[in-house]
Amino acid sequence: MRTKLFIALIALALLAALLVGAPVSAQTGGYKLTILHTNDMHGHWEPMTYSNVSQGGIARRAALVKQLRAANPNTLLLDAGDISQGTLYFVQYREQESRDFYNLLGYDVVTPGNHEFDLGSKVFADNFVSGAKFPIVLANVDLSNEPTLAGKLPPYVVKEIGGEKIGVFGMILDDLLISTNIGSNAKMKDALKTAQDVVAELTKQGVGKIILLSHRGYGADLDLAAKVDGIDLIVGGHSHTLLGDAAKLDKSLGAPTGAYPTVVKTPNGGRTLVVQDFEFGRLLGKIDLTFDAKGEVTAYDGQPILVDSKLADDPDVAKKLLDLAKPLDDLKKQVIGKTSVDLIADAQIIRNQETNFGDLVADAVLWSTAWDKTQIAIVNGGGIRRTIKTGDISYGDVLEVLPFGNRLVQIDLTGADVAAALENGISQIYAGGGSGGRFPQVAGLKFSADLSKPVGSRVTDVQIGNAKTGFKPLDKNATYRIVTNDFMAGGGDGYAMFKNGKNVNGGDVPIDQALTDYIKFLNAPIAIKTEGRITLTGTPPPAPTAAPTTTATPTAVPSPVVAAPTATPTPTLFPLPLWTPLPYPTFSLQPVLPKFLVPCAVGCRPADPPDRFRDDK
């Protein structure tokens, strides 16, 4: 009886659909479209290892895409930007390898991220746009006066898949002009009006199925979805947001921020689905949509798919990757600078006192984020892993010194929390030099502490500033702009007070990149000496006998709490893991950083180098 009823219902659905002329799937009673999507690849073409799980790899992804396309010919493969910049591949090939890989995988539509413009509009045009076999859409930037890109990035495209028209348009973050090297000829358009206009234009053309590729961040996507009717799906990027069912996601990915998809109610009572695919190609986003004859989504189902070692490599893509990887070993050996003094980072020293290498790393971190008006840098000494002896400094040296791939995060912190952070940093100094890795190497401040006092009340004086411009006493009620690494920003090494920070920004620039670029910019033998930023007095007590004999593994930065869709989005700290050594290439390196338009707020950095540009997410 149930079988007969089911057959009758299917027959009725088929008849109804045929009467209105809609393509029909016998299984779903409507037009079924599969969307495969990625975002924030950042040049991670090789597999990576997290919690002993091998993840990602462009050759594996290619094989998975082929499988899924075979299962449903009505499939679109999309990317929401930041394909480039983040590994040695970017340094060597300047975005060309990104284009070539995406050609091999047969991407259908792509929108650029802010990092696609890191080397300027011309490089993006010559090395990525030129030769791309897929359309690159961007609606909220006027490029008509930019000669290298004018007419090359349409606001939208209409793809015909299985007899149905699918409109896909692209948008990028609002502060693109000040966060990248796109150039002064580009002009931003209002995001809300742009989205409304594009939807209206596509609807006028009879396109009833509309997808937005958005490199604007999860919060911004939720906000836009709540204000615009007619967008069926937003495929997002920029915030590296993990979405999905925690019970179905691999534990090494961390905790998801929200549901996959996240459903947002639109002004007219409809709904827009919002998805994102985390980062680095560790997952492949997949959502199946079923549309009725009116072009409205009547059903949806999906979950990001882990790209792991269970997937075989696509042979053509694997060969391409092998060929591109060969020159990178030589690049790692490339000399980037010279030091005329030993840069001290022996564990028993850098975890107990200020060192010249600690000063140098903190200076580099502060310098690299001066565009964001950072005033103070605090870096855990345990993250600086070895001394560099007098002589040449290579990329490989930097990678060994800073091996965790941690990234820079900026936050607003009260003076009281700054003082608490310093107390935490010196809380594990005991007689015999048994400090933990939390010891703070700093820039933009100096402080004194009496180690004979109880933990939590050792700091006796904190001054904000630097040797060049002078110092002022810390005001515990004031707000200071802090830069640290993502591990510490998430409360790692006991820095729980950093989680009180407001106006969170960054998370994209690796700390090894900051140091590399700073050394290259100095362009002279380094002869740095300690400046007396940390003055320690008193004899510390012996280590507690009850102290743990093993060190707890630091946890990943927690996922942010996402505001309601109608709230104004603010920059969020996306759920970055504690980075583990990757098989190859091991870590991120770029020869360039933001073109900082803001002078150093604390007088700590030299004049801006020529090819630096600002870098948000």
- Domain membership of residue 509 as a residue range: 335-537
pTM higher than the cut 0.85: no
pLDDT single digits (tens) 474-519: 999 999 999 999 889 988 888 999 999 999 998 878 899 999 999 9
Q: How far is CA 254 from the centre of its chain?
A: 15
Give the per-residue pLDDT at 617.
Answer: 42
Tokens matching residue 340: 């005329």
Instruction: Give one DSSP letter per residue of 466-486, joined into a string.
Output: ETTTEEEE--TTSEEEEEEEH
Mean pLDDT of 450-459: 95
The domain boundary residue, chosen from 537, 561, 595: 537
Residue 7 lies in a domain: no
State how many domains the chain has: 2
Residue 272 lies in a domain: yes
The pLDDT-based confidence of 616 (bands split at 50, 70, 90) is: very low
Residue 91 lies in a domain: yes
Give the per-residue pLDDT at 541.
Answer: 87
- Residues 253 and 387 both lie in one domain: no
pLDDT single digits (tens) 201-242: 999 999 999 999 999 999 999 999 999 999 999 999 998 999
SS3 state at 295: coil
The domain boundary residue, chosen from 485, 515, 537: 537
- Residues 307 and 346 both lie in one domain: no
Residue 506 lies in a domain: yes
The domain boundary residue, chosen from 282, 304, 325: 325
Q: Rounded distance, CA 213 to CA 80, Å?
A: 5
Cα–Cα nearest to 60, from 45, 40, 75, 49: 45
pLDDT single digits (tens) 327-367: 888 877 889 999 999 999 988 899 999 999 999 999 999 99
Give the per-residue pLDDT at 434.
Answer: 57
Contacts of 333 by beta carbon, 8 Å cutoff, 6+ apart: 394, 395, 396
Cα–Cα nearest to 427, from 372, 477, 496: 496
Phi then psi for residue 350, to 5 deg, are -70, -15
Residue 5 lies in a domain: no
- Residues 301 and 207 both lie in one domain: yes
- Residues 127 and 208 both lie in one domain: yes
The strand ranges marked E within 93-229 are 109-110, 141-142, 156-161, 164-172, 187-188, 209-215
Residue 96 lies in a domain: yes
pLDDT score of 458 more than 70: yes
Give the per-residue pLDDT at 550.
Answer: 29
pLDDT score of 382 more than 70: yes
The strand ranges marked E within 486-609 are 502-510, 534-537
Residue 55 lies in a domain: yes
- Residues 354 and 311 both lie in one domain: no
Mean pLDDT of 385-391: 93
Listing from the earlier edge strand, what are the strands of the sheet with 440-443?
A: 440-443, 376-380, 479-485, 407-414, 502-510
pLDDT single digits (tens) 91-105: 789 999 999 999 999
Contact 165, 137 (CB under 8 A): no
Q: What is the CA radius of gyration of the chain?
A: 26
Contact 345, 515 (CB under 8 A): no
pLDDT score of 609 more than 90: no
CATH code of the domain covering residue 215: 3.60.21.10
Least confident of 117-131, 197-211, 243-257, 431-445: 431-445
Computed over every residue of the chain, the mean pLDDT equals 84
Going by the DSSP 8-state scheme, the letter that residue 500 receives in this structure is: G
Q: How many residues does the chain have?
A: 617
SS3 state at 165: strand
Cα–Cα nearest to 584, from 220, 218, 406, 322: 322
Instruction: Give one DSSP letter per residue of 345-386, joined into a string.
Output: --HHHHTTS--HHHHHHHHHHHHHTGGGT--EEEEEGGG---
Q: Rounded distance, CA 71 to CA 88, Å?
A: 35
Q: How far is CA 607 from the centre of its chain?
A: 27
CATH code of the domain covering residue 512: 3.90.780.10
Q: Which residues pair with 284 in a beta bridge?
A: 305
Tokens matching residue 382: 């345990």
CA-to-CA separations, 16 to 19, 54, 129, 298, 373, in angstroms, rounded: 5, 48, 44, 15, 62
Cβ-count burial of 439 within 10 angstroms (0-12 exposed, 13-18 middle, 19+ buried)?
A: buried
pLDDT single digits (tens) 553-575: 222 323 332 333 332 222 222 22
Give the per-residue pLDDT at 399.
Answer: 80
CA-to-CA separations, 581 to 48, 51, 253, 495, 588, in angstroms, rounded: 8, 10, 16, 23, 11
Residue 196 CB neighbour total at 10 angstroms: 17
Residue 427 lies in a domain: yes
pLDDT score of 586 more than 50: no
- Residues 277 and 375 both lie in one domain: no
pLDDT score of 393 more than 90: yes
pLDDT score of 131 more than 50: yes
- Residues 289 and 403 both lie in one domain: no
Residue 427 CB neighbour total at 10 angstroms: 17
Instruction: Give one DSSP letter per residue of 381-408, joined into a string.
Output: GGG----B-SEEEEHHHHHHHSTT--EE
- Residues 389 and 418 both lie in one domain: yes
Going by the DSSP 8-state scheme, the letter that residue 33 receives in this structure is: E
- Residues 152 and 223 both lie in one domain: yes
pLDDT single digits (tens) 134-171: 999 999 999 999 999 999 999 999 999 999 999 999 99
Q: Report the share of the chain in percent with pLDDT over 70.
A: 82
- Residues 83 and 204 both lie in one domain: yes
The strand ranges marked E within 185-296 are 187-188, 209-215, 233-236, 262-265, 271-275, 283-291
- Residues 167 and 127 both lie in one domain: yes
- Residues 142 and 281 both lie in one domain: yes
Q: Rounded distance, CA 127 to CA 120, Å?
A: 11
